[in-house]
């Protein structure tokens, strides 16, 4: 069976072969799913930074002081804050999936509440964790 030449099909009748981002309406669940994937990738980079810090701690005093100065700077603290948020948001996404694995929360309202709750819980826990770390420092 011969296929029609794409240029012979009127523009109004051409359709994408698969759905794309312009077709879907954004929802909190979609944003949470994308954020879960992005934080998973970001945690790889953050874990490399953590490994660099541990290697510096195992090394001599100069390398440890140098690495501590980098992580203690404003930019270093900002990166560590982002790493903490990414870690907690990824954890909340995992808990959201565990709830779904238990067969709960599949209706639209529950899905959106879980997604918004994931962002809120990660944000609140990140701030609380940093406040506690500054208090006990």
Q: Give 28-45 pLDDT, tens digit per residue.
A: 999 999 999 999 999 999
Number of domains making up the chain: 1
Per-residue b or e along 33-70, where b marks 16 or more CB atoms closer than 10 Å to that residue's CB = eebbeebeebbeebeebeeebeebeeeeeeeeeebeee
Which residues form the domain of 50?
28-136
Q: What percent of the chain has pLDDT over 70?
A: 85
pLDDT of residue 25: 79
User: Which whole-number Å values give the CA distances from 14 to 1, 4, 46, 98, in the listed order?
Assistant: 19, 12, 44, 40
Question: Residue 45 domain-assigned?
Answer: yes
Question: Residue 7 domain-assigned?
Answer: no
Question: Residue 120 domain-assigned?
Answer: yes
CATH code (residue 85): 1.20.1300.10
**How far is the C-alpha of 66 from the C-alpha of 78, rounded, in Å?**
17
Arithmetic mean of pLDDT over the chain = 90
Categorize the per-residue pLDDT at 4 as very low, low, confident or very high, splitting at 50, 70 and 90: low
Q: Is the pLDDT of residue 134 over 90?
A: yes
Question: Residue 5 domain-assigned?
Answer: no
Question: Residue 53 domain-assigned?
Answer: yes
Question: Residue 77 domain-assigned?
Answer: yes
Question: Residue 99 domain-assigned?
Answer: yes
Question: Residue 93 domain-assigned?
Answer: yes
């Amino acid at each position: 069976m011969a296929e029609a030449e794409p240029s012979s099909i009127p523009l109004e009748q051409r359709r994408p072969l698969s759905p794309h981002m312009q077709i879907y309406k954004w929802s909190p669940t979609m944003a949470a799913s994308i954020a879960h994937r992005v934080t998973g990738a970001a945690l790889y980079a953050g874990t490399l930074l953590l490994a660099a810090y541990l290697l510096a701690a195992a090394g001599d005093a100069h390398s440890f002081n140098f690495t501590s100065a980098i992580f203690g700077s404003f930019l270093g603290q900002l990166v560590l804050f982002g790493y903490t948020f990414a870690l907690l948001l990824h954890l909340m996404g995992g808990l959201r999936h565990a709830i779904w694995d238990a067969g709960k929360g599949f209706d639209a309202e529950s899905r959106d509440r879980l997604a918004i709750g994931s962002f809120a819980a990660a944000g609140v826990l990140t701030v609380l964790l940093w406040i506690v770390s500054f208090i006990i420092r």
